[in-house]
Structure 1
Amino acid sequence: MIALFIRDVRLAVRAGGGFGLGLAFFLIVVVLVPFALGPETALLSRIAPGVLWIGALLACLLSLDRIFALDFEDGTLDLIATSPLPLEGVCAAKALAHWVTTGLPLVVAAPVLGVLLSLPAAGYPWLVVSLLVGTPALSVIGTFGAALTVGIKRGGLLLSLLVLPLYVPTLIFGAEVARAGAGDLAVETPLVLLAAVTCVTIALLPFASAAVLRMNLR
């Protein structure tokens, strides 16, 4: 399982769908918002938590179709499915690899990009915490969506349409944690709800992803 995780991380970095692509898209979103809304600091600081979370969410979408597609095209996925490895563990390893190559760099870059949106100083630690807690859910949900669309030609758009509604709770609670932290408000309730969403997705969706993969590979 560890070897599969390391392999997926290396493939993601080599293919350019990991660190570089997600960070570049994240940067573009954050840079374009001030151009569209103007340089008003008060407005930018008010919307910064939501914009940063939306940028991170959309950046995660870019590489979801790579989670299973490349392995399906060259037949590796069939070999993995017939190997002694539990398919649930395979899905969990692939979700973890996606988070390490996409979600974790976004967590690291978010405070730097927050400067461009005049994020209040009190909001930086809570922005990092919210992304650190919430982005694993994005990767696990995305893995489930990728399993649903594996084998479908040009299934990227369908994948986005399937996954985006499932991302809404994570987006709401994650942005609320960052917004409340930036305004020196209580963050306990949205943070607990965000952690609950992440824990539930990690506990359940690898099994759902494995079941869907078995059906698609028959």
Structure 2
Amino acid sequence: MIALLIRDLRLAFRAGGGFGLGLGFFLILAVLVPLGVGPDPATLGLIAPGILWVGALLACLLSLDRIFALDHEDGSLDLLATSPIPLEGVVAIKALAHWITTGLPLALAAPVLAILLNLATPGFGVLIVSLVLGTPALSMIGAFGAALTVGLKRGGLLMSLLVLPLYMPTLVFGAQAVTRAAQGLDAVTPLLLLAGITAGSVALLPFAAAFALRINLR
């Protein structure tokens, strides 16, 4: 399983492998929003938590179709399905690789982009914590959506339609945590709910995704 994780990380770091795509999108969004809504600091500070979380969600969405598509195209997915590694473990490792190359860089880069959006200083720490807690759920839910649509031609749009409703609770609680922290309020409750969503996703969705893969590979 460690070898599979290293392989997926190497593929993601190669040119065209998806690494940097999410960060580039995140940066472009943070630059375009002030141009669109105006440079008023009060307005930017008010919408910053939601914009940052929406940007992180969409940046994760960009590379979801690569989780299983390349392995399906070259036949590696069939070999993984018949290997001694449980298919549930394969799903979990691929979701972890996606998070390391997409979600974690977004969490680390978010404070820099928050400066562009004039986020209040008390919200910076909670922004990082919320993204670290929430982006694993985005990757795991995305892996489930990718498993449902693997092998379908132009399945990226269908996958987006499937996973976006499942992303809503993570988006709501993540943005709410940052908003409360920026206003000087207690953000523990939304952070705990965010952690609960991630824990539930990691515990249950590998089995659902593996079941979907077995059906699609028949």
TM > 0.5 between the two? yes
The correspondence of residues 49-88 of structure 1 with structure 2, limited to 5 A, is 49-88=49-88
Counterpart residue identity of residue 168, structure 1: M
Q: 2: CA distance between counterparts of 1:182 and 1:12?
A: 34
Match status 1:158 vs 2:158: yes
- Secondary structure at 1:65 match in 2: helix
Counterpart residue identity of residue 129, structure 1: V
Match status 1:145 vs 2:149: no
Q: 1: CA distance between counterparts of 2:15 and 2:212?
A: 26
Q: 2: CA distance between counterparts of 1:11 and 1:36?
A: 36
Q: 2: CA distance between counterparts of 1:62 and 1:16?
A: 12
Match status 1:124 vs 2:97: no
**Tell me, which stretches of 5 or more residues in structure 2 are unaligned?**
none
Q: 2: CA distance between counterparts of 1:214 and 1:116?
A: 45
Counterpart residue identity of residue 82, structure 2: T
| Corresponding residue of 2:213 | 213
Match status 1:97 vs 2:93: no
Q: 1: CA distance between counterparts of 2:8 and 2:36?
A: 37
Q: 2: CA distance between counterparts of 1:113 and 1:186?
A: 23
Give the superposed CA RMSD: 0.7
Counterpart residue identity of residue 10, structure 1: R
Match status 1:26 vs 2:34: no
Q: 2: CA distance between counterparts of 1:28 and 1:156?
A: 22
Q: 2: CA distance between counterparts of 1:17 and 1:41?
A: 37
Any idea what the Cα deviations from partners look like across 1:67-94, whole Å, max 9, x if unmatched? Answer: 0000000100001101111000000000
Any idea what the Cα deviations from partners look like across 1:102-156, whole Å, max 9, x if unmatched? Answer: 0000001000000000011111000000000000000000000000000001111
**Tell me, which stretches of 5 or more residues in structure 1 are unaligned?**
none
Q: Residues 185 and 60 (structure 1 numbering): CA distance in 2 closer, same or farther, change over 3 Å?
A: same
Q: Residues 157 and 115 (structure 1 numbering): CA distance in 2 closer, same or farther, change over 3 Å?
A: same
Counterpart residue identity of residue 79, structure 1: L
Count of aligned pairs between the two proteins: 218
Counterpart residue identity of residue 150, structure 1: V
Counterpart residue identity of residue 84, structure 1: P
Q: 1: CA distance between counterparts of 2:119 and 2:21?
A: 24
Any idea what the Cα deviations from partners look like across 1:7-26, whole Å, max 9, x if unmatched? Answer: 00110111434331110000
Counterpart residue identity of residue 51, structure 2: V
- Secondary structure at 2:64 match in 1: coil
Deviates more, 1:165-174 or 1:15-24: 15-24
Question: Normalized against structure 2, the TM-score is what?
Answer: 0.99
- Secondary structure at 2:152 match in 1: coil
Match status 1:115 vs 2:115: yes
| Corresponding residue of 1:196 | 196
- Deviation of the 1:189 alpha carbon: 1.2
